[in-house]
């Protein structure tokens, strides 16, 4: 089994977790709870949390920590925005300083952001084992910076925790297989763990439907009254043709029902640059929302239109039809199930897709695990080092 056996001499095992964006906060929260539960048995895993500062807006950042009850980061690197090279370079420098100080036994990274790659690369150069949660995802579109981050991180990692069996197969195609030096395992999806835990809390705490004067929550279960849209990927937001086309389609849908659109800071910035707000008055643009509010908006929507991988899965789990504003997805399972449809950015194609909803019966098998992925990850890491 991979791992540094020397750490077994101590009852303490130090893990440095690196996050920087909203989806990573959600995943890290699930694993953090699993570590806390594990430590109740007397065994000790010490988790040091580094927040790179890739997301730095209050509603994109701190409110998530507060809602998810994630401990305050031990280090906030304050990297902020910038080009991919500049942002990743600053992260590398600052993460390395923390790793030199903390001397962990393992570095834990999540997903596919610049924070993910910077954390993995910093650790690998210091000869520290890397555990990648959500390993093996592939869109096979190398124009996406996220795809580059995924591939490189997987090849740098010692522990590859895959959310689906397809992800395991993707790694095998690239020669990454279980061996004496690597652990590759389908543990399930930690975001599914979070959905099971937090959706019940969101039902009790979120007032977003009332705040937005949407349909009565009791009737929405049977007859949803609004569409939910999200958009944040650079391929869509930074291309005026693609962004204009997506917004035009959403604006047309606004004739049928309200289109609620929480605006990512990047999307807002590009809409202002391209002067697109006044052309799309049927879309109800709102500020970024908290995790609990987002869960409830997703759960009660007529349909979801998004370019987010995480939102695609959440729509699947909530049994809400999803239309992905891309030509490919790393979550192919949701498409194969018939619940998610790839509609790209063409106005007519988006409209036709929404009018012909996918079947409303997600596949019965548990493609994303049984809600215990986080627990499995913690136990696998402990066993590898002790």
Grouping H, G, I as helix, E, B as strand and the rest as coil, residue 17 is strand
Between vectors from CA 198 to CA 194 and to CA 199, what angle results, nearest 5°?
A: 110
Do 352 and 323 form a contact (C-beta atoms < 8 A)? no
Is 3.40.50.2000 the CATH number for 5-189+369-385? yes
pTM of the entire structure?
0.90
pLDDT score at 11: 55
pLDDT score at 215: 57
Do 199 and 35 form a contact (C-beta atoms < 8 A)? no
Between vectors from CA 274 to CA 270 and to CA 280, what angle results, nearest 5°?
A: 95
What are the phi and psi torsion angles at 205 (to 5°)?
A: -100, -30
Q: Work out the number of other CB atoms within 10 angstroms of the CB of residue 56.
A: 17
- Of 19, 36, 371, residue with least CA distance to 195: 371
pLDDT score at 83: 85
- Of 77, 36, 386, residue with least CA distance to 197: 36
Helix locations, 20-174, DSSP H: 22-39, 62-68, 84-102, 114-125, 145-156, 165-173
Q: Tell me the CA distances in angstroms from 57 to 44, 62, 265, 284, 290, one per residue in order.
A: 34, 8, 8, 21, 12
pLDDT score at 5: 47
Q: Tell me the CA distances in angstroms from 81 to 90, 286, 291, one per residue in order.
A: 11, 22, 22
pLDDT score at 135: 98
Q: Work out the number of other CB atoms within 10 angstroms of the CB of residue 231.
A: 24
Do 110 and 131 form a contact (C-beta atoms < 8 A)? no
Helix locations, the chain, DSSP H: 22-39, 62-68, 84-102, 114-125, 145-156, 165-173, 190-205, 208-211, 217-220, 234-237, 240-253, 265-273, 291-299, 309-317, 332-336, 347-355, 373-385
pLDDT in tens, 53-106: 886 654 556 777 888 888 899 999 998 877 889 999 999 999 999 999 999 999
**Spatial distance between the Cα atoms of 353 and 327, rounded to a whole number of angstroms:** 13
If residue 219 lies in a helix (H) or strand (E), which one and from where to where? helix 217-220
**Spatial distance between the Cα atoms of 117 and 360, rounded to a whole number of angstroms:** 37
Active site residue 55: no
Which residue has 């709870």 as its token pair? 33
Task: Point out the residues of the chain with pLDDT beneath 70.
Answer: 1-11, 55-61, 215-223, 358-365
Question: Pick the catalytic residue: 210, 232, 264, 379?
Answer: 232
pLDDT score at 9: 38
Quickly name the fold that domain 203-355 has.
Rossmann fold (3.40.50)
The neighbouring-strand residues paired with 131 are 108, 159
pLDDT in tens, 255-311: 999 999 999 989 999 999 999 999 999 999 999 999 999 999 999 999 999 999 999
Q: Where in the chain is the domain with CATH 3.40.50.2000?
A: 5-189+369-385, 203-355
If phi > 0 it is left, if psi is from -120 to 50 it is alpha, else beta; for residue 213 that is: left
**Spatial distance between the Cα atoms of 300 and 203, rounded to a whole number of angstroms:** 11
pLDDT score at 59: 52
pLDDT score at 363: 53
Do 304 and 322 form a contact (C-beta atoms < 8 A)? yes
């Amino acid at each position: 089994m991979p791992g540094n056996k020397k750490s077994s001499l101590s009852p303490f095992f130090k893990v440095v977790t690196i996050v920087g964006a909203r989806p990573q906060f959600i995943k890290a929260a699930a694993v953090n709870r699993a570590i806390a539960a594990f430590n109740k048995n007397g065994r000790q895993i010490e988790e040091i949390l580094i927040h790179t500062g890739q997301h730095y807006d209050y509603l994109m950042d701190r409110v998530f920590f507060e809602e998810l009850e994630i401990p305050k980061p031990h280090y906030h690197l304050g990297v902020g925005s910038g080009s991919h090279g500049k942002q990743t370079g600053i992260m590398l420098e600052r993460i390395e300083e923390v790793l030199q100080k903390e001397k962990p036994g393992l570095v834990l990274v999540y997903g596919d952001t610049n924070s993910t790659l910077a954390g993995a690369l910093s650790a690998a150069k210091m000869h520290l084992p890397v555990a990648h949660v959500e390993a093996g995802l592939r869109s096979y579109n190398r124009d996406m910076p996220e795809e580059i981050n995924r591939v490189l991180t997987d090849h740098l990692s010692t522990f590859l925790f895959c959310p689906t069996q397809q992800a395991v197969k993707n790694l095998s195609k690239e020669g990454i297989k279980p061996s004496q030096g690597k652990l590759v395992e389908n543990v399930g999806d930690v975001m599914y763990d979070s959905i099971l835990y937090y959706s019940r809390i969101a039902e009790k705490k979120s007032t977003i439907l009332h705040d937005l004067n949407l349909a009565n929550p009791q009737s929405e279960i049977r007859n949803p009254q609004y569409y939910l849209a999200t958009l944040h990927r650079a391929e869509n937001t930074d291309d005026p043709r693609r962004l204009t086309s997506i917004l035009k389609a959403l604006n047309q849908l606004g004739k049928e029902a309200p289109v609620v659109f929480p605006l990512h800071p990047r999307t807002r910035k590009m809409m202002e640059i391209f002067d697109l707000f006044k052309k799309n008055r049927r879309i109800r643009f709102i500020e970024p929302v908290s995790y609990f509010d987002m869960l409830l908006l997703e759960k009660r929507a007529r349909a979801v239109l998004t370019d987010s991988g995480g939102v695609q899965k959440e729509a699947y789990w909530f049994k809400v039809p999803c239309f992905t504003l891309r030509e490919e997805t790393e979550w192919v399972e949701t498409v194969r199930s018939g619940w998610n449809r790839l509609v790209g950015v063409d106005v007519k194609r988006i409209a036709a897709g929404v009018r012909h909803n996918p079947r409303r019966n997600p596949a019965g098998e548990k493609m994303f695990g049984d809600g215990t992925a986080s627990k499995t990850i913690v136990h696998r890491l402990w066993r590898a080092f002790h």
